[in-house]
């Protein structure tokens, strides 16, 4: 269920009551310290958590005095000045019973005031947090719900792991999943502290063009700057701060309250090991969600989540939805049998599916499918370049040979013996090539350890039929 405040109304009432009773012998576990209002005061610095919750009560009492002067006075005298009820009754010329009654009413009004302020503070935090995310690239998502719930449950559970990697081939929906995850976290807990840092260097827009982005390469120092810019804007502007000093400030913030931080497109980071070492120092209780085209299997403390392809039904639902949004009613109403060739050609890759639908404005479906298989259009070539080019250029000879042999496997995949036979690679080379291809998410490894089966995405299969032959002769531009 979504919450709009850190504490429900009744919890807040109990917390205010307890905090007033403990005014003179407060403890560190003061329940008001959980409030977003309290966190805001802490951020401004110069106060402890307990002092912040006392300030919060004093401010609320002042506001109450504007509408209920006598009630606010009774609360002050009783709790802050530690006067007994009969003393207050004497001072105000009231019966003790009346003082008790007025005190109960005043506490209820005080709670209402703080509750309204807390709601507004949560909404403010949520707005600030949402502004740190990129605008969503989607209107509706398919097949993501279960992944979001699964990952969020893991992330919100106390304790490690602190690092999560969302992995998969280009266009499979890594950024989208990370984005939905953050939005869901903010729906559940609007006061949740989040940050988003992107290392993305290129973008394939839905018109089929590759846009280079002005993002500089993400180094460990640049990461610290980016996170300070979002989470500690006041520190980021302090003159002559060394990166080490900024890092320490950031570390104490991230250690004090748990944050959720996404680092998108980790595969473009030059020195991943250095960056990961920094993240490990910043993590716990803060969680980092990394997205990467490359698997980070060799890292021991990372929870891996490989995004599966959309299945047949989800892929067709996405195609129909896109068609409806783009005002292509004939495609939106087409039968499964008519749309299934799209799925057969590009599989469950959302980016490729969306691009195919985009082209249906201009071209017929058979023409597009033919283009995909023969790389007969610039848009298709851009898609393949965007998804596969860098990975292909980084492969050595055995890696390329094995990948080129993969179309000989069927959709269920093949075992090691079959791959050895069709690639004609020696066992050592084959294992090395498999490691590289699995790491690059070009080959999926599934099944039990003893009976692993290796398969490729439909889009990879279609791509291998034609485009790669051209790259074997021409260098990367």
Report the interface residues with ligand ATP, using CB under 6 A: 137-138, 141-144, 168, 170-176, 265, 291, 293, 318, 350-351, 354
Closest approach of ligand ATP to the CB of residue 348, in Å = 9
Please, are residues 457 and 169 in contact by the beta-carbon 8 Å criterion? Answer: yes
47 vs 317 by CB, closer to ligand ATP: 317
Is residue 175 near Mg ion by the rule CB under 5 A? yes
60 vs 318 by CB, closer to ligand ATP: 318
Q: Which residues contact 434 (CB under 8 A, 6 or more apart)?
A: 402, 416, 419, 443, 445, 454
Using the Cα atoms of residue 133, residue 203, residue 176 and residue 324 in order, give the sign of their dihedral: positive
| Residue ranges with strand state E in 109-247 | 163-167, 193-198, 202-204, 210-212
Closest approach of Mg ion to the CB of residue 142, in Å = 17
Q: Which does 171 bind (CB under 5 to 8 A by kind): Mg ion, ligand ATP, none?
A: ligand ATP
Closest approach of ligand ATP to the CB of residue 249, in Å = 30
477/466 Cα distance (integer angstroms): 19
Closest approach of Mg ion to the CB of residue 440, in Å = 15
102 vs 174 by CB, closer to Mg ion: 174
Supply φ then ψ for residue 20, to 5 degrees: -65, -45
Residue among 80, 81, 82 at smallest CA distance from 60: 80
Closest approach of ligand ATP to the CB of residue 357, in Å = 11
54 vs 385 by CB, closer to Mg ion: 385
DSSP code, position 451: G
Q: Which residues contact 408 (CB under 8 A, 6 or more apart)?
A: 414, 422
Residue 207: HSE in the Cβ half-sphere, 13 Å Cα cutoff: 3
39 vs 174 by CB, closer to ligand ATP: 174
User: Looking at 61-69, 107-115, 174-182, 390-398, which segment touches Mg ion (CB under 5 A)?
Assistant: 174-182
Q: Which does 278 bind (CB under 5 to 8 A by kind): Mg ion, ligand ATP, none?
A: none
Could you tell me how many residues of this chain bind Mg ion (CB under 5 A)?
Answer: 2
Closest approach of ligand ATP to the CB of residue 401, in Å = 25
Supply φ then ψ for residue 285, to 5 degrees: -85, 0
160 vs 207 by CB, closer to Mg ion: 207
The residue written with tokens 């070492």 in the block is 277
Closest approach of ligand ATP to the CB of residue 224, in Å = 23
User: Looking at 49-57, 80-88, 168-176, 421-429, which segment touches Mg ion (CB under 5 A)?
Assistant: 168-176
CB atoms within 10 A of CB 353: 25
34 vs 354 by CB, closer to ligand ATP: 354
List Cα–Cα distances, 257 to 108, 120, 193, in angstroms: 30, 20, 8
Residues that bind Mg ion (CB under 5 A): 174-175
């Amino acid at each position: 269920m979504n919450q709009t405040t850190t504490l429900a109304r009744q919890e807040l009432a109990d917390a205010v009551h307890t905090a007033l009773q403990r005014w003179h012998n407060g403890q560190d576990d003061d329940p008001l310290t959980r409030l977003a209002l309290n966190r805001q005061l802490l951020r401004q610095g110069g106060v402890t958590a307990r002092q912040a919750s006392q300030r919060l009560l004093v401010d609320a009492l002042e506001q109450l005095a504007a509408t209920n002067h006598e009630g606010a006075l009774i609360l002050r005298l009783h709790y802050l000045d530690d006067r007994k009820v009969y003393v207050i009754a004497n001072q105000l010329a009231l019966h003790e019973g009346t003082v008790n009654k007025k005190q109960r009413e005043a506490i209820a009004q005080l709670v209402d005031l703080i509750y309204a302020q807390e709601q507004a503070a949560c909404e403010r935090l949520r707005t600030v947090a949402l502004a740190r995310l990129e605008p969503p690239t989607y209107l509706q998502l398919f097949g993501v719900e279960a992944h979001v719930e699964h990952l969020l449950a893991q992330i919100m559970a106390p304790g490690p792991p602190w690092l999560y990697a969302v992995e998969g081939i280009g266009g499979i929906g890594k950024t989208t999943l990370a984005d939905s995850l953050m939005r869901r976290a903010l729906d559940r807990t609007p006061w949740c502290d989040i940050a988003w840092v992107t290392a993305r260097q290129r973008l394939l827009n839905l018109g089929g063009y590759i846009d280079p982005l002005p993002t500089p390469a993400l180094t460990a120092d640049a990461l610290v700057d980016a996170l300070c810019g979002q989470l500690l804007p006041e520190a980021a502007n302090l003159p002559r701060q060394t990166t080490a000093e900024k890092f320490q400030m950031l570390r104490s913030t991230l250690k004090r309250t748990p944050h959720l931080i996404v680092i998108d497109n980790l595969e473009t980071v030059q020195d991943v090991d250095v960056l990961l070492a920094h993240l490990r120092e910043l993590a716990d209780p803060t969680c980092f969600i990394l997205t990467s085209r490359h698997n980070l299997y060799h890292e021991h403390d990372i929870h891996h989540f490989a995004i599966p392809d959309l299945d047949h039904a989800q892929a067709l639902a996405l195609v129909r939805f896109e068609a409806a949004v783009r005002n292509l009613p004939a495609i939106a109403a087409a039968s499964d049998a008519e749309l299934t060739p799209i799925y057969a050609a590009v599989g469950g890759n959302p980016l490729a599916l969306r691009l195919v639908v985009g082209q249906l404005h201009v071209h017929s479906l058979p023409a597009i499918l033919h283009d995909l298989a023969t790389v007969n259009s610039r848009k298709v070539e851009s898609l393949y370049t965007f998804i596969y080019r860098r990975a292909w250029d980084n492969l050595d000879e055995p890696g390329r040979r094995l990948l080129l042999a993969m179309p000989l496997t069927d959709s269920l995949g093949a075992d090691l013996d079959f791959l050895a036979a069709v690639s004609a690679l020696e066992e050592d080379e084959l294992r090395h090539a498999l490691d590289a291809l699995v790491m690059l998410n070009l080959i999926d490894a599934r099944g039990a350890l003893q009976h692993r089966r290796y398969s490729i995405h439909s889009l990879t299969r279609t791509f291998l039929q034609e485009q790669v032959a051209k790259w074997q002769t021409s260098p990367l531009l």
